[in-house]
Amino acid sequence: MTYMDEYAILLKLKSDYTKLNKLVHDMLHIDPARPETCIALAAFWERKDERKALTYAEKSLRVDDRHITGYIMKGNLHLSLNRPDLAVTDFRGAQELRADLRSYQGLVRAYLALSKCKDALFTAREAMKVMHQSAKALKLVGDVHAISSSGREKARKFYESAIRLEPGFLGAALALADLHVAEGRNKEAVLLLERYLRQWADDSLHIKLAQVFAATSLLSDALSHYQSALRINPHNEAAKKGLERLEKQMKGVDPDAPEDEDENEADDVDGDQDDAELL
């Protein structure tokens, strides 16, 4: 059971809800009272009901108030629920137990949501000092600078430094591509992403390329990359939504027009019975 909550979070990030559903079933069968089981349930419910997911994150901390993943999950859910003030407390709780990159990332997001840019920059720099030679910490500083047009040049330098330190760090490459687009350098963004695609067949690279092409009205190229992303990861929600939006654009339909939401959700985890037992 140890670290199975981390595995659940990875499955959620990959939108593989079939495997996540099975994992939660197995964990409930083994030990429904473990904090890892509560976090796995929070990961499962996050897409459908963030408030319900939050109750499971809170339960994980009632079971074990030193479970770092519980604080991080709770902080991310508070961010999703537009409560960055509470998220700051959650991520600080995680940091008091152990310096974790995710708690620094969460704090930066929370401070930026609160328009506390100086606090965000101080936190990102602290992460860079604590995690010496960390490409992800370098990117975090770049992310803070990137929020303002005056800081984009500094952001570019931090992203490029992160890539030099860790050439395979796709997060920095994607952030740098976004920066190129923000500065009107769409061609540079495409060249950067295509260079990475020659080495890594990654769905996130295809999605970013599709977004760049869609923004420049190269819709057929965007379509090709969304389809490539789904071939690599059929569960990728971002690719599915992007493709749906693109198909509307290609038909001349406003993709932002309101419509009824799909009811096609993943099967519940043993229905309300398991939820009642856990709560």
Using an 8 Å Cβ cutoff, are 236 and 15 in contact? yes
Q: Tell me the mean pLDDT in the region 141-163.
A: 95
Using an 8 Å Cβ cutoff, are 40 and 27 in contact? yes
Query: How is 233-279 classified by DSSP, letter by letter?
Result: -TT-HHHHHHHHHHHHHHTT--TTS--PPP---PPPSSHHHHHHHH-
**pTM (2 decimals)?**
0.81
The residue that leads in pLDDT, 58 or 16, is 58
Residues 82-93 pLDDT 10s: 999 999 999 999
In CATH, the architecture of 133-194 is: Alpha Horseshoe (1.25)
Residue 133's pLDDT is 87
**Residue 32 neighbours by CB under 8 Å, 6+ apart:** 274, 277, 278
Rg of the Cα atoms in the chain: 20
Q: Is residue 48 scored above 60 in pLDDT? A: yes
d(CA 159, CA 241): 28
Topology adopted by domain 1-131: 1.25.40
What average pLDDT is seen over the chain?
Answer: 90
d(CA 113, CA 55): 23
Q: Is residue 236 scored above 80 in pLDDT? A: yes
Q: Is residue 249 scored above 70 in pLDDT? A: yes
Pairs from 189-194 (Cβ < 8 Å, separation ≥ 24): none
Choice among 26-40, 61-75, 197-211 with the minimum mean pLDDT: 197-211
Coil, strand, or helix at residue 166? coil
Choice among 15-29, 44-58, 73-87, 240-254 with the minimum mean pLDDT: 240-254
Using an 8 Å Cβ cutoff, are 61 and 71 in contact? yes
d(CA 251, CA 62): 51
The residue that leads in pLDDT, 257 or 82, is 82
d(CA 86, CA 92): 10
Q: If 0-12 CB within 10 Å is exposed, 13-18 middle and 19+ buried, where does residue 16 land?
A: middle
Domain boundaries, the chain: 1-131, 133-194, 201-253
**Structure tokens given for 32:** 């429904």
54 alpha-carbon distance from chain centroid: 17
Residue 259's pLDDT is 63
Give, for 150, the enclosing helix (H) or strand (E). Answer: none
